[in-house]
């Protein structure tokens, strides 16, 4: 059972081959065109996918040692994501599946972020709770089985990755700011400055408040000292990161308690954050959780996770018809 998977939901063009549930490769072309704009420009992302997709697929096929005729299915990200970016991947996948006469498998990008946990050991046991934290989403998901998931909490406004990137932008850091805040935070004092933790009902999150708080905080301090940011960058980053992690951990603990689940996973780009990884492990010790953190390359967008999800869908007999269309706001 060999599946070629394509990921093109945002600004990473990626292809991967999975053989009998084992990932053979994970080729990723990251688009650098967006850096100078301080965020992903959808139109440029679509064009870059158009440019990178065939070379990326070629490389995935070449390094797999398989021939096209060995493929059992073609998988692709159906959504959520940028419509123009998704269209490139979907059209390519359809054309390839059609020409080879093999099935098509659509994958939900957010489910794939979670299923990335099944690429390598240790694998979480069902049911588990996954905190999915990425550039576009912040979700608490109850995972009952590979293809049986329920969102039990999510953000009502910005995603936590957005909060990292937008506050980084306010400090003049380049896009994506998340990894840079992480790096600077490691050298700073997390208690140096206080930012508000949003008080949201049940398992909901809100991250728009901290962005505004940081904006006023910087404005007021820059009035007094124009060099405030450069002189305090490490402490500001550490304090922002501390607040964001605390917000996430509060709700994660609440969810674990409510559902009486001790199998806890994190997924999505922000799960690459060293502070979040460390805090999760500390809490796990205190609360007796078994925690699961994906390898760095499977945290941010990649086709290996799409391939893993497609493997389970193939086994479950879930295929797509040739008239399938992408969904920018796809739900589970």
Position 301 contacts Fe ion (CB under 5 A): yes
288 is in an annotated binding site: no
How far apart are CB 317 and Fe ion at their closest, in Å? 26
For residue 84, state whether it binds ligand ATP (rule: CB under 6 A).
no
Q: Does 182 bind ligand ATP (CB under 6 A)?
A: yes
Task: Tell me whether residue 103 or residue 178 sits nearer to ligand ATP (CB atom).
Answer: 178
Q: 134 vs 273, which CB is nearer to Fe ion?
A: 134
Q: Three-state secondary structure along the chain? A: CEEEEEECCCCEEEEEEEECCEEEEEEEEECCCCHHHCCCCHHHHHHHHHHHHHHHHHHHHHHHCCCHHHCCEEEEEEECCCHHHHHHHHHHHHHHHHHHCCCEEEEEHHHHHHHHHHCCCCCCCCCEEEEEECCCCEEEEEEEECCEEEEEEEECCCCHHHHHHHHHHHCCCCCCCHHHHHHHHCCCCCCCCCCCCCCCCCCCECCHHHHHHHHHHHHHHHHHCCCHHHHHHHHHHHHHHHHHHHHHHHHHHHHHHHHCCCEEEEECHHHHCHHHHHHHHHHHHHHCCEEECCCHHHCCCCHHHHHHHHHHHHHCCCCECCCCCCCCCCCC
179 scored as a contact of ligand ATP (CB under 6 A)? yes
Q: How far is the CB of 186 from ligand ATP (least distance, A)?
A: 10
Spell out, one character per residue from 112 to 151, where the chain touches ligand ATP: x when CB under 6 A holds, - when not: -x--------------------xxxx--------------
Q: Answer yes or no: is 67 a known binding residue.
A: no
178 counts as binding ligand ATP under rule CB under 6 A: yes
Q: Of Mg ion, Fe ion, ligand ATP, none, which one does residue 49 interact with (CB within 5 to 8 Å by kind)?
A: none
By CB under 5 A, the residues from 243 to 302 that bind Mg ion are 301
- Report 111-170 residues binding Fe ion (CB under 5 A): 134
Which residues lie near Fe ion (CB under 5 A)? 134, 301
């Amino acid at each position: 059972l060999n599946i070629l998977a394509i990921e093109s939901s945002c600004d990473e063009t990626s292809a991967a081959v999975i053989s009998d549930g084992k990932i053979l490769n994970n080729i990723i072309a990251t688009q650098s065109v967006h850096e100078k704009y301080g965020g992903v420009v959808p139109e440029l992302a679509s064009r870059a996918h158009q440019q990178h997709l065939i070379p990326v697929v070629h490389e995935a096929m070449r390094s797999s040692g398989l021939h096209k005729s060995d493929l059992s299915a073609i998988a692709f990200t159906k959504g959520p994501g940028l419509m123009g970016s998704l269209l490139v991947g979907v059209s390519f996948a359809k054309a390839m599946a059609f020409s080879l006469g093999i099935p098509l498998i659509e994958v939900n990008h957010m489910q794939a972020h979670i299923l990335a946990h099944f690429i390598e050991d240790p694998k979480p046991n069902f049911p588990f709770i996954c905190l999915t934290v990425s550039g576009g989403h912040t979700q608490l998901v109850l995972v009952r089985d590979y293809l049986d998931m329920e969102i039990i909490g999510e953000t009502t406004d910005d995603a936590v990755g957005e909060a990292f990137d937008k506050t980084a932008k306010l400090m003049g850091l380049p896009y994506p700011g998340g990894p840079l805040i992480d790096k600077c935070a490691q050298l700073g004092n997390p208690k140096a400055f206080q930012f508000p933790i949003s008080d949201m009902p049940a398992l909901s999150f809100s991250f728009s408040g901290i962005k505004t708080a940081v904006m006023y905080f910087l404005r007021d301090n820059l009035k007094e000292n124009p060099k405030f940011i450069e002189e305090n960058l490490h402490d500001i980053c550490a304090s922002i990161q501390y607040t964001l992690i605390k917000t996430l951990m509060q709700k994660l603990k609440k969810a674990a308690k409510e559902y009486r689940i001790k199998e806890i996973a994190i997924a999505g780009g922000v799960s690459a954050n060293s502070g979040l990884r460390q805090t999760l492990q500390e809490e796990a010790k205190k609360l007796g959780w078994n925690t699961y953190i994906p390898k760095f390359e499977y945290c941010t967008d990649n086709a290996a996770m799409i391939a893993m999800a497609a493997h389970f869908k193939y086994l479950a007999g879930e295929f797509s018809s040739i008239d399938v269309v992408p969904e920018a706001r796809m739900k589970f």
